[in-house]
Amino acid sequence: MVPLLLVLLLALILFGAGFALKALWWIAVIVLVVWLLGFVMRSAGAGGRRGRWYRW
């Protein structure tokens, strides 16, 4: 009984980690797209004046 519970617990932990990693990948892709859009819009706009669009 105990080995079965350990296997189920391990499967649950691995499933949760896999879901979290997939969610983090989607968040990273969204942040990258927003950053690229801001970079392109800032360098193409503002009357030809180039500058930073972020405050890092």
- pLDDT score for 52: 59
Q: What is the pLDDT of residues 3-37, one digit of tens each?
A: 888 988 888 888 888 888 888 899 999 999 988 88
pLDDT for res 18: 86
Quote the CA–CA distance of 3 and 19 in Å, as a whole number.
24
In this prediction, residue 29 carries a pLDDT of 93
Q: Domain total for the chain? A: 1
Range(s) of the domain holding residue 12: 2-45
Which residues, 6 or more positions from 43, have their beta carbon under 8 angstroms from its beta carbon?
50
Residue 26 lies in a domain: yes
Compute φ and ψ for 51, nearest 5 degrees: -170, 175
- 55 falls within a domain: no
Q: Is residue 54 part of a domain?
A: no
Asked whether residue 52 is assigned to any structural domain, the reply reads no
50 within domain boundaries: no
